[in-house]
Amino acid sequence: MKISFILVLILIISGCYGKSPSKSPPVNPAELQATQELDELNTRIIQQGTNFPASPADYLIGPADLLEVRVFETEALTSVVRVSSRGFVTLPLLGDVEVSDFTAREAEEKIENDYKKGGYLKDPHVSIFIEDHESRNISVIGAVVSPGKYELLTRQTVLDALANAKGLKPDAGRSIHLNRMNKDGTRSSYIIDVEDLLSGSTDSNIAVLPGDLILVPDSGNVFVEGAVLNPGTYSIKEGSTSLTQAIIKAGGSMSYAQNSDITLIRYNSATGRKVYTVNLDEINAGNQEDIIVKDRDAIIVGTNTVKKFFSGLSLNIGYGLVGVGYTQPNR
């Protein structure tokens, strides 16, 4: 019995020591490098973006804000006014004064100067109290760590907005799309390269405005803009999606598109940004080879202004009268 017990014990011990320790799965060098590059990129974004809480003195006046404008020299000029949708307030003697995107102090100085230049007061002193703050939001969506709406209470740039959103996710592309609705109802779109943004380029680090939408698309996307039905960002299959297929993804060209004037903007880390002019009519006719698009490409379909004008014309008939009307095309 003792011998058997000893043999069993020896087998157990030898079995324990004979087992090889569990090994961690091998690390993919490419994945490790990509993770390190992303960490460095986000560190630069957060360090260069201010990401500071705004003080009340930094608040930018905007549409629908309610202001008490007090003129100390005479109570008759003191008024409580609401900022119009166009960013103006109507003040005694001065009429319409633009105050949107001014701090309270900047607006005070502007109104003081207006009263002085107009000869109404020799040395005016103006105080502005913002009685009602309307929410001023921008949206940061897509492949960022913390997407959502952010209050724009002080002057900020695209880099600040990315810092507030805690930087980029691993699957983020290296271009940023800023979409803006202008006061006149038109829409503006900007494509910003991340490396240009972090290089300190003031042209790339655009000041954001209330209502702006900042989109960071996933990698493997192209941006299609101009005279297409549904402009925006679309995913592509690397190495096989053509320029015409990308335009089709955006709903195709509009009736007033200038298909002979297609602009392809391509970013190359070695040579920078290159711009190509492409004739879609020649491609469709088989006279030119269709171009395979790449990640971060931007395609802009040109507009034929004459075609666009005539596409908005309509014939109006009523009460025995015939007239011609015009409606601005939606796209």
Question: What is the pTM (predicted TM-score) of this model?
Answer: 0.55
Residue 287's pLDDT is what? Answer: 92
Q: Cα 234 from chain centroid?
A: 16
CA dihedral 269, 270, 273, 274 (to 10 degrees): -130
Residue 330's pLDDT is what? Answer: 56
Q: What angle do CA 61, 206, 304 make, to 5 degrees?
A: 105
What count of other Cβ atoms lies within 10 Å of the Cβ of residue 175?
Answer: 26
pLDDT tens, residue order, the chain (331 aa): 555 555 545 555 555 444 444 454 554 555 566 577 777 877 888 777 765 555 566 778 888 889 999 999 999 999 999 999 889 999 999 999 999 889 899 999 999 999 999 999 999 999 999 888 765 788 999 999 999 988 877 778 999 999 999 998 888 888 888 998 887 778 888 888 888 888 887 888 999 988 899 999 888 888 999 999 999 888 887 678 999 999 999 999 998 899 999 999 987 766 677 899 999 999 999 998 999 998 888 999 999 876 665 555 444 444 444 444 445 555 5
- Fold assignment, 137-216: Outer membrane lipoprotein wza fold like (3.10.560)
Residue 6's pLDDT is what? Answer: 54
Q: Residue ranges of the domains in the chain? A: 56-132, 137-216, 220-331
Residue 326's pLDDT is what? Answer: 42
Residue 245's pLDDT is what? Answer: 93
Q: Is 185 left (phi over 0), alpha (psi -120 to 50) or beta?
A: left
Residue 28's pLDDT is what? Answer: 52
Identify which of 203, 300, 289 has the alpha carbon closest to the alpha carbon of residue 247: 300
State the Cα–Cα distance between residues 202 and 208, nearest whole angstrom: 13
Tokens of 70: 């007090």
Tokens of 273: 């940004």
Q: Are 143 and 174 in contact (CB under 8 A)?
A: no
Strands (E) in the chain, as ranges, are: 66-71, 79-82, 88-91, 95-98, 126-132, 137-142, 148-151, 175-181, 187-193, 213-216, 221-226, 232-235, 257-268, 272-278, 298-303, 313-318, 321-326
Task: State the Rg of the chain over Cα.
Answer: 30
Residue 315's pLDDT is what? Answer: 44
- Fold assignment, 220-331: Outer membrane lipoprotein wza fold like (3.10.560)
CATH top-level class of 56-132: alpha beta
Same fold, 56-132 and 137-216: no
